[in-house]
Amino acid sequence: MSKHVEGVIFALLLPTLLVILQLCENSIQSIAIGGGKISGNVEFPFMVSIQYRFDSGEFNHFCGGSIISKQHILTAAHCFYSKGELISIERLRIRYGSSDLSSNDLLEIIISDLFIHPNFTLETNRNDIAIVKTINELEINNSTTRIAFLESETIPNGFKLIAVGWGFYNEQQTSFSNKLRRARIPLTSLLNCNGMGLRANSPNQLCAGDGGGADTCIGDSGGPLFRFEGLFDFALVGIISYGRDVKCGSMNSLTVYTNISHYNPFIVNVIGNVTFSPFDPNANYNRALINHSIILQLSYWIIGLCLLFQTIT
Please indicate whether residue 238 or residue 287 has the higher confidence score (pLDDT): 238
| Sequence-separated (6 or more) residues with CB below 8 Å from residue 130 | 74, 75, 76, 77, 79, 80, 114, 115, 116, 117, 120
Fold of 47-145: Thrombin, subunit H (2.40.10)
The most confident of 142-151, 216-225, 297-306, by mean pLDDT: 142-151
Beta pairing class for 72-75 and 81-82: unpaired
* Domain 33-41+148-262: assigned CATH number: 2.40.10.10
Residue-level pLDDT at 167? 77
Residue-level pLDDT at 37? 53
Every domain of the chain and the residues it spans: 33-41+148-262, 47-145
Residue-level pLDDT at 95? 96
- The backbone torsions φ and ψ at residue 13, rounded to the nearest 5 degrees and listed phi first, read -90, -15
Dihedral (CA of 169, 175, 176, 178) sign: negative
Confidence of residue 68 (pLDDT cuts 50, 70, 90): very high
Q: What average pLDDT does range 64-74 have in this prediction?
A: 97
The most confident of 43-57, 68-82, 218-232, by mean pLDDT: 68-82
Q: How far is CA 288 from the centre of its chain?
A: 17
Q: What average pLDDT does range 55-68 have in this prediction?
A: 93
Confidence of residue 39 (pLDDT cuts 50, 70, 90): low
CA distances from 169 to 59, 95, 161, 165 (A): 21, 21, 18, 9
- pTM for the full model? 0.79
Answer for the pair 241, 125: CB distance below 8 angstroms, yes or no: yes
Two domains, one topology: 33-41+148-262 and 47-145? yes
Condensed to tens digits (0 to 9), the pLDDT of residues 83-135 reads 999 999 999 999 999 989 889 989 999 999 999 999 999 999 999 999 999 99
| Sequence-separated (6 or more) residues with CB below 8 Å from residue 156 | 187, 281
Q: How far apart are CA 110 and CA 142, in angstroms?
A: 21
Percent residues over pLDDT 70 in the chain: 69
Residue-level pLDDT at 166? 87
Kindly report the CA angle at 302 between 299 and 308, in degrees rounded to 5? 145
Condensed to tens digits (0 to 9), the pLDDT of residues 188-246 reads 999 999 988 888 889 999 999 876 555 566 668 999 999 988 777 899 999 999 986 55
Residue-level pLDDT at 8? 44
